[in-house]
Amino acid sequence: MPVVRIGFIGTGIMGRSMAGHLLAAGHTLHVFNRTRAKAAPLIEQGAVWHDTPGDVAAASEIVITMVGLPGDVEEVYFGGTAAVPAGQGIIDRSRRGTVLVDMTTSSPMLAERIAAAAAARGLAALDAPVSGGDVGARNASLVIMAGGDREAFARVQPLLGLLGKSITHLGPAGAGQRCKLANQVAVAIGMVAWCEALAHAQAGGLDPAAVQQVISGGAAGSWGLTNLAPRALAGDVAPGFMVKHLLKDLAIARECAAATGIDLPGLATAERLYTLAAEKGWANDGTQVLYRLYQASEGLAAIDRLSPREYCELMSMLHPSADDGWDRQIAADLAAGRLDGLIANSKAEIEAGLAVPLETILEEAERAEGRS
C-alpha cells in the first residue's frame, strides 16, 4: 500500500491505539487532540502535531476523527466555537478529494449533515463507528460499521483493515451510526444481564468469579461477560468504555427509536440504571462499574437481615449522623467484606470523640427491640 498522509483527531483511549497502528504501518500521521499531552506518545513515534483540526485536514489526504460526543464531532468538522474558530474546522480546510472518516459513536443525523456539507465542497465523508472496546483498538480487531459514499469507502478500506478485523459498508451516510446504535442497545442490555446474573449467583452463596468463568462458555456468553465482568469482580472500574459515553449512545438510540415509533423497554431500563450510576459520580468510570449497584443492594439486603441491636452496634461504630448516602457506603463495605477495616476506623473515630457513645445507641436498640 502506498504511504498515505493521514490526519487523526482525537487520541484518547481508542484513538491513540488506532492512530498507532496507522503509524506503525508506515503512513504519515498528522494529529490534533484537545489535550495535547494525550498525543505525546504518538508524536514521540513520529506523528506531526497541529494546533487545530483545520491544520490537520489541510495536511492530509484522509482525515479520521475519534472524539467523544456529537458536540465534539460538530466542533471539529464545522468549527465556529471558541476552541475551533469559524473557518478552522475540517470541512473548511480540507483539500478537494479528501475523504473524511468519523469513527466516533455519534448521531446518524449529524453524519448525514457532515456528508452533505462535505459533498458541497468536493469532499467525501463516511461514518465508520467501531465496536470491540479498548481491547479491540489495541489488538486492531475492531468491528467497523460504515455508511456513506461507496467509492470513498473502497478508497479507505485498506486503512480500516489496519484497525479492524470486520469492516462492513451498510448503506448511505448515517447507516454506520445506525448499526452502531443497534450494537449499543445490545451492549447496554447485555451489561445489565451479566450484572444481574452474577449478583444472583453471589446472593445464592456462590463465588461470582467461578460462575463468570463457567457461564462465559455457555449460552450466556458475551463480550462483556468475558472481558468486563472479571474487571468488575476485581473492583477495577478504570475505563475501557466510559459510562458517560454509553449514556450518550443510549440517548441517541432512544431519540432514533422514538422517531421510528418503536418501543424499547430493555433500553429504557439500561438507561435508567446507567443514569443512576452517573448520579453516583461514576460517569467517567468504565461501564463495568454498573456491577457496584448490585453489590450495594446486596449489602443493603444484608443490613435488613441484622437485628436492631446488631445494626445499632454497627452504626455506633461508624458515625453519629448516618444519612442515606452513608448507609449505602456501609452496604458497599458489607458486601465487599470490608467490615474489619471499617470497624477499626470507626473505633478510632469513637476514641477521638467523633461518634455517639456505644452505650447510648445500645439503649436505643434495646428500647426498639422491646417495642417490636
User: Which residues in this chain contact ligand NAP in the complex, by CB under 6 A?
Assistant: 9-15, 33-35, 38, 66-68, 72, 75-76, 104-105, 130-131, 133-134, 240-241, 245
Closest approach of ligand NAP to the CB of residue 142, in Å: 8
Choice between 133 and 208, CB closer to ligand NAP: 133
- Using the CB atoms, write b or e for 246-261: b if 16+ within 10 Å: bbbbbebbbebbeeee
Closest approach of ligand NAP to the CB of residue 104, in Å: 4
Strands (E), the chain: 5-9, 28-32, 48-49, 62-65, 99-102, 124-127, 130-131, 142-148, 164-171
Closest approach of ligand NAP to the CB of residue 124, in Å: 21
Distances (CA, A) of 251 to 66, 187, 268: 19, 14, 10
Read off φ and ψ for residue 227, nearest 5 degrees: -95, -35
Closest approach of ligand NAP to the CB of residue 134, in Å: 5
Q: How many residues are given for the chain?
A: 372
Distances (CA, A) of 322 to 337, 349, 355: 20, 14, 10
Choice between 35 and 321, CB closer to ligand NAP: 35
Closest approach of ligand NAP to the CB of residue 314, in Å: 39
Choice between 42 and 361, CB closer to ligand NAP: 42
Residue with cell 494529529: 31
Choice between 112 and 127, CB closer to ligand NAP: 127
Choice between 7 and 10, CB closer to ligand NAP: 10
Q: Which of 150, 172, 168, 151 is nearest to 160 (CA)?
A: 168
Choice between 130 and 211, CB closer to ligand NAP: 130
Q: Which residue is nearest to ligand NAP (CB)?
A: 12
Residue with cell 486503512: 159
Burial class (CB in 10 A: 0-12, 13-18, 19+), 328: middle
Q: Which of 226, 195, 223 is nearest to 132 (CA)?
A: 223
Angle between helices 339-351 and 324-335 in degrees, nearest 10: 130
**Is 180 part of the annotated catalytic residue set?**
yes
Catalytic residue among 38, 165, 180, 280: 180
Closest approach of ligand NAP to the CB of residue 59, in Å: 16
SS3 annotation, 110-138? HHHHHHHHHHHCCCEEEECCEECHHHHHH
Residues catalogued as catalytic: 180
